[in-house]
Amino acid sequence: MEAPSAYSALLELFRSKGLAGATVLRGVAGFGPTSILHTAGIFKLSADLPLVIEVVDSQEHLDAVLPEWTG
């Protein structure tokens, strides 16, 4: 069985802490510190595309959960 991805683990933490909502968005292109461009194509879905995780709740609730997911 495959280990859960980091974003899945974060979503589960947010859900278990009762946050109002969270969404994971996968980018269609991006690059990181190496400046190598990663893109999603018709014949290839790159596993290293950028992700954005949006979390929605009050500032107080987010501040209470923040130390648990920042390590």
Beta bridge partners of 53: 24
Which of 31, 10, 30, 32 is CA-nearest to residue 22? 10
Domain edges within the chain: 6-69
Which of 41, 7, 33 is CA-nearest to residue 22? 7
Q: Is the per-residue pLDDT at 4 higher than 80?
A: no
> What would the mean pLDDT of 25-38 be, rounded to a whole number?
87
pTM for the model: 0.71
pLDDT band at 55 (very low <50, low <70, confident <90, very high): very high
pLDDT at 16: 95
Q: Is the per-residue pLDDT at 42 higher than 80?
A: no
> What would the mean pLDDT of 18-38 be, rounded to a whole number?
90
pLDDT at 23: 96
